[in-house]
Structure 1
Amino acid sequence: MCAPMSALEILPASSARSSNLAFALLCLPRGRRADAILFYRFCRTIDDIADRPSLGLEEKKATLAAWFLAIETGLPSPLEALVERHSIDRALLGEIIQGCASDIEPRRFDSATALERYCWQVACAVGLVSLKIFGCHDSCSEAYAVHLGHALQLTNILRDIGEDARQGRIYLPLEDLARFKVTEEEILSLQPGPGIFALLRYTASQARTRFAAAVPPEKDFERLLPARIMSAVYQRILDRMEREKFPVFQKRTGLMPHEKLACIMGAWLAGFKKTAPANHRSFGAPSGP
């Protein structure tokens, strides 16, 4: 039985304040920033339902089923207006919900292909919706969003290995564990053997390949500023994990606020250098409504 529609409430705006994405969204024009934060709150709400310890298994399933049904029957009014305003593909919202729903119970991925499908649901679909909110028009931006989504999620998987293991979750493909002679027990017990670090380096190289493939198209370069900031932030996190020899079983690697600010400035300057010779724009948010 599905949860009642009254249960379909999104997390408050305060839930978006401390995340990496919150920093990235600061550069958007006011209207688009508000819409992007609303969409982020939706994503956080869905993810929170799947992860919240206080909810039972059946309650989680029922609430997510209600959200999935609401995509067609009518979302809470602010989200419904957002979907209509930006012509968002409702199927993408369904993919996000299904991806998070698959996290309700501890799971395993037999192959890299299975993991790619999960990454597409929880990261690439988010990026494709974000393109609409950012006002992107170049069809090549979709390929950019997909590559970047995979890169960000692989970096997240690396960063959260210890945290996920404590919840009985392993996101690295089992075929990769076998290739590097790593057992599930090593990861779940937080006592990695010698093969684990070769596996982590291999996964990091896959993330870097995706980052390298995520080339923002010229036409949407400015509008993709939030995505370019996220790319810079997560590449720094990946750099730090590698430099510190992947302390992922002991801590969750992050950046200090001043480091995130440096990523914002670096991404903004990259756009400024592209546009300044042509129109001498002053400092500010990307152009466009």
Structure 2
Amino acid sequence: MNQPPLIEQVTQTMALGSKSFATAAKLFDPPTRRSTLMLYAWCRHCDDVIDGQTLGEGGTQHQVADAQARMLHLQIETRRAYSGAHMDEPAFRAFQEVALTHHLPQQLAFDHLEGFAMDTRDERYNSFDDTLRYCYHVAGVVGLMMARVMGVRDEAILDHACDLGLAFQLTNIARDIVEDAENGRCYLPRSWLDKAGLRSEQLADPQHRAALAPLAARLVSEAEPYYQSARSGLPDLPLRSAWAIATARGVYREIGVKVQHAGPRAWDARQRTSKGEKLALLVKGAGMALTSRVSRPQARPVGLWQRPR
């Protein structure tokens, strides 16, 4: 059976895997959008593999029970992609295209894989800085790679891109606390749990929602200065890219607001933005992108977590 063209496969991956970002991705110019879809497909694939999905495609699919073996597979295939070798898996063909076209540093790709390795090791996070370190690997690095796809090379501007990834992931953690707990994972700092009188194994229990809600709200509040920093990076992006990023920023930030406002009911249903809300945020993002052409950006807030250089 013939496979659909690669661009169709990665477009479907985005549509199914991230409805929040799929709307914003349509705003990029065609070359940037293509690279964005290619990068997302690889990130999504790596995540699925670590969560126990199959490797390969078609008749070559096979289940690998050992998480460490799955991690090694991703590392080997990523190195092969950088070497220019022929890639069988669509996600790695996609990644090879974007990585070699935009000269993405290998260190960034392997920093991203380290985030998945942290999950395979069942790491626990004692402090908020530990949580931010995880956020850096799974999302901040993606912000750095995306910024490079958009032509950014200035380290100060890359800081803003990383901050947006951190904000996105903090929002995701707040939204998904219960779902993650059901899968045996907890990204909340242990110090926060101790102060609230909670244990990680209790987080999926509905009777603890009242104690859990303030911790989710705190995560959302902690994300805010990172969202603020991300806005300051818009003037240095091409206009259409600024529009896309401003829209994505608005969509994810609104999800956090919903989690915060829902309180103990935040996990009765998955928090998301409606089509109408996305449209309104798209319009608002356009205004923010246009304003960024003429307004002077604010300095990066003092005291934010600093990515490794």
TM-score band, normalised by shorter chain: 0.7 to 0.9
Q: Does 1:218 align with 2:235?
A: yes
* 1:198 Cα offset (Å): 2.6
Q: Does 1:64 align with 2:68?
A: no
Q: Does 1:28 align with 2:28?
A: yes
Residue 171 of structure 1 aligns to a residue in which SS? coil
Give the RMSD, CA atoms, in angstroms.
2.6
Segment drifting more, 49-58 vs 114-123: 49-58
1:177-201 Cα shifts (integer Å, max 9, x gaps): 1122223343143421643233222
Contact 2:234 2:289 in 1 (8 A): no
Contact 2:174 2:216 in 1 (8 A): yes
Residue 266 of structure 2 aligns to a residue in which SS? coil
Question: 1:233 aligned to 230, 245, 251, which one?
Answer: 251
Counterpart in 2 of 1:135?
Answer: 151
Amino acid at match of 2:75: F
Counterpart in 1 of 2:187?
Answer: 171
Q: Could you state the TM-score of these two structures normalised by the residue count of structure 2?
A: 0.78
Residues 43/101 of structure 1: CA separation in 2 closer, same or farther (3 Å cut): same
Question: 1:73 aligned to 46, 71, 80, which one?
Answer: 80
Question: 1:146 aligned to 159, 162, 185, which one?
Answer: 162
Contact 2:243 2:288 in 1 (8 A): no
Residue 74 of structure 1 aligns to a residue in which SS? helix
Within 5 Å, give how 1:154-193 maps onto structure 2. Answer: 154-192=170-208
The share of aligned pairs that are identical, in percent, is 24
Amino acid at match of 2:47: D
Amino acid at match of 1:66: H
Aligned mates of 2:52, 2:269 — CA distance in 1 = 21
Counterpart in 1 of 2:274?
Answer: 256
Q: Does 1:242 align with 2:260?
A: yes
1:195-215 Cα shifts (integer Å, max 9, x gaps): 323322222211123222332
Contact 1:151 1:208 in 2 (8 A): yes
Counterpart in 1 of 2:13?
Answer: 15
Aligned mates of 2:234, 2:247 — CA distance in 1 = 15
Amino acid at match of 1:133: V
Counterpart in 2 of 1:266?
Answer: 284
Structure having greater relative contact order (Cα 8 Å, sep ≥ 6): 1
Q: Does 1:47 align with 2:63?
A: no
Segments of structure 2 that go 5 or more residues without pairing to the other structure are: 1-5, 55-62, 88-92, 295-309
Segments of structure 1 that go 5 or more residues without pairing to the other structure are: 1-8, 277-289
* 1:10 Cα offset (Å): 11
Which structure has greater helix proportion?
2
1:106-152 Cα shifts (integer Å, max 9, x gaps): 44212222211111100000000001112235433211112211111
* 1:225 Cα offset (Å): 2.9
Question: 1:196 aligned to 205, 212, 215, which one?
Answer: 212
Residues 109/165 of structure 1: CA separation in 2 closer, same or farther (3 Å cut): same
1:231-272 Cα shifts (integer Å, max 9, x gaps): 100111111112222523322100112211221221112223
Aligned mates of 2:209, 2:234 — CA distance in 1 = 42
Q: Could you state the TM-score of these two structures normalised by the residue count of structure 1?
A: 0.83
Aligned mates of 1:262, 1:218 — CA distance in 2 = 21
In the comparison of the two structures, how many residue pairs are matched? 268
Aligned mates of 2:7, 2:133 — CA distance in 1 = 26
Amino acid at match of 1:24: A
1:77-101 Cα shifts (integer Å, max 9, x gaps): 4432321210111111111112123
Aligned mates of 1:241, 1:112 — CA distance in 2 = 19
Contact 1:154 1:207 in 2 (8 A): yes
